[in-house]
């Protein structure tokens, strides 16, 4: 029998809160999604002013990062013309996102979930996603 | 120009918290979604143990209740065999849900959003959705 | 070579205007769609206050009535449990609508397009759809 | 409670009329869609001869420009190979369009809706979309 480690709702909230704090700091209202290790949504918040299109993209970034166990940014590099994963962005009905902003949450080498952000530039989305993870890992390792 | 009232993220959290409190009380881990008046997701939480299928159904209940300005339960009645809305449950790619658990949030006669729950029986989903609305309306009118 | 008769945009506007006049009269803000004989959208209007879910359903009613050359209401009867078209409502990804409110526009026995309404009860949707057709046929035959 | 400004149907018609006038001037029959600030369709017209594929693309351009609060043309630049949003064109089931011709309608710094055109070259689509916005803003600010 497999024993799976999975983010709890409380942990998902910690991830979102960390990302939101950074989003407020840089002044970009974000859509923030947290998926579990199976890619299924655990929690989501659209900050007031977050983009409608990002409601979907943030969720799909979290889905992609959890399901593929890698950052969506790494897929962006791997799917450039001529690269091995070229064309992967339209997989799974377009749910596989290759734009930066989705990052897996890794504990002891194991993916336990992922966070995905959208509404800013991909660099801003990534910065806030990483802030969420840093905040979570800080609270996790001190607990 | 039309002037629209829309739930804020803080208000969506109040709705979710009210529904969650009731869900804890009845012992059913729920998926809880809040959509704005246009049907787009504002916030979502899957309580630990909430169902994977309900991740989608809760969101679609909130979408339906907001977009159609009525409870999903009322659609269940109206879409029984021989009734006027028979067959409506497969509309919009199946996103239109006719199972109880989605309720619009109405302020001064205007739909400003909706809450949708899934993971329990439709009656339990409805009970928790209504608890969320009651909690929100209580805080709203006293503010 | 086939010679096809197809509603023009001007004729679609006449259909919409006729339906809208009736909608105003009965006090229900409607989503009104007109498709051509191939089921493709020619014109659409969402009256202020029309439902978001109806944006999709009105279009699909027009698509169904044009493509299947029959009223969506007739499909509702034919798709009841035990009837020959039972289950047809989920065809074409759910775009085939079996709820009343979609009516083909027929000239000399030939379907040249269709009108679909949504936001009221199916009876109200049908009443307004028929008003649009009556208005169009009146102007067409007198021209 | 958030206070949102949204295009009315009358305003959507003004946008379409302005775009159509330009389309007639340059001799290209267009599909013209107007979405509200949440990306939901308000009005649509396919000029006689407009392309069937454009029925969908025009709507999705309006959806994208409203939902993402930016021109679809800007996404075209940002999603070139090697650019940050590379691969975004398949997001949301392909509804996110990165081809020019979708422009948000902005009043006092706030996106209140968007217009999307398709059937010409992207440059022609953009020219007509902008003509619709210019016509609307002229009538809006003089009213």
* pLDDT tens by residue, A36-86: 999 999 999 999 999 999 999 999 999 999 999 999 999 999 999 999 999
Residues in D closer than 8 angstroms to C55, CB to CB, are: 40-41
Find, in chain B, the residue whose alpha carbon is nearest to that of D67.
B40
- How far, in Å, CA of D120 to CA of B138, rounded? 54
Query: CB distance B93–C93 less than 8 Å?
Result: yes
**Number of residues that make up chain B:** 143
Instruction: Give the integer Cα–Cα distance in Å for C52 and C46.
Output: 9
Q: Which helix (DSSP H) or strand (DSSP E) does residue D35 occupy?
A: strand D31-36
Residues from chain D contacting residue A53 (CB–CB below 8 Å): 39, 63-64, 67-68, 91-92, 96
pLDDT averaged over chain D? 97
Which of C52, C80, C121 comes nearest B38 by C-beta?
C52
Assess whether chains D and B touch, using the rule of 3 or more C-beta pairs within 8 angstroms.
Answer: yes
Q: What is the mean pLDDT of residues A94-115?
A: 97
**Residues of chain A with C-beta less than 8 angstroms from the C-beta of D114:** none
C-beta of residue A121 within 8 angstroms of C-beta of residue A99: no
* DSSP conformation class of B30: -
Residue D3: pLDDT over 80? yes
Kindly determine whether residue D41 and residue C40, on different chains, have CB atoms separated by under 8 Å: no
Task: For chains C and A, tell me whether 3 or more CB atom pairs sit within 8 A of each other.
Answer: no
The predicted-structure confidence for C40-57, as pLDDT tens digits, reads as follows 999 999 999 999 999 999
Q: What is the average pLDDT score of chain C?
A: 97
Nearest-neighbour CA in chain B from C143: distance (Å): 37
Touching chains D and C? (3+ Cβ pairs < 8 A) = yes
What mean pLDDT is predicted for residues B64-80? 97
pLDDT at A142: 75
**What chain C residue is nearest to D47 in terms of C-alpha separation?**
C9
Residue of C nearest to B40 (CA): C52
D119 contacts D30 by C-beta, under 8 angstroms: yes
Which residue in chain C has the smallest CA separation from D45? C43
List residues of chain D with CB under 8 Å from any CB of chain B: 1-8, 11, 36, 38-40, 107, 112
Residues in D closer than 8 angstroms to B6, CB to CB, are 1-4
Question: Do C79 and B92 make contact, defined as CB atoms within 8 angstroms?
Answer: no
CA angle, A13 then B48 then A22, to 5°: 10
Predicted confidence at residue D143, as pLDDT, reads 64
Q: How far separated are the first and last CA of chain B, in Å rounded?
A: 28
Please check whether residue C70 is in contact with residue C106, taking contact to mean a CB–CB distance below 8 angstroms.
no
Q: What is the pLDDT of residues D64-90, one digit of tens each?
A: 999 999 999 999 999 999 999 999 999
Find chain B residues with C-beta within 8 A of C75's C-beta. 87
Cβ contacts (< 8 Å) between A48 and chain B: which residues?
Answer: 8-9
Which residues in chain C are contacts of B89 at CB distance < 8 A?
89
Q: Do D40 and C48 touch (CB under 8 A)?
A: no
Nearest CA in chain D to C52: D40
The sign one gets for the Cα dihedral C117, C119, C122, C128 is: negative
Taking 90 as the threshold, does the pLDDT of residue C140 lie above it? no
| Token output for B49 | 């143990």
């Amino acid at each position: 029998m497999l024993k799976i480690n999975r983010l709890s709702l409380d942990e998902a909230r910690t991830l979102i809160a960390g990302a939101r704090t950074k989003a407020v700091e840089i002044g970009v209202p974000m859509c923030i999604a947290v998926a579990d290790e199976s890619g299924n949504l655990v929690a989501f918040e659209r900050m007031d002013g977050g983009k409608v299109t990002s409601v979907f993209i943030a969720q799909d970034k979290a889905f992609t990062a959890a399901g593929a166990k890698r950052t969506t940014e790494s897929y962006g590099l791997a799917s450039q013309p001529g690269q091995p994963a070229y064309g992967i962005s339209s997989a799974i009905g377009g749910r596989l996102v290759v734009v930066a902003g989705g990052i897996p949450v890794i504990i002891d080498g194991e993916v336990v979930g992922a966070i995905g952000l959208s509404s800013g530039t991909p660099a801003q989305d990534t910065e806030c996603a990483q802030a969420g993870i840093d905040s979570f890992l800080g609270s996790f390792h001190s607990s």
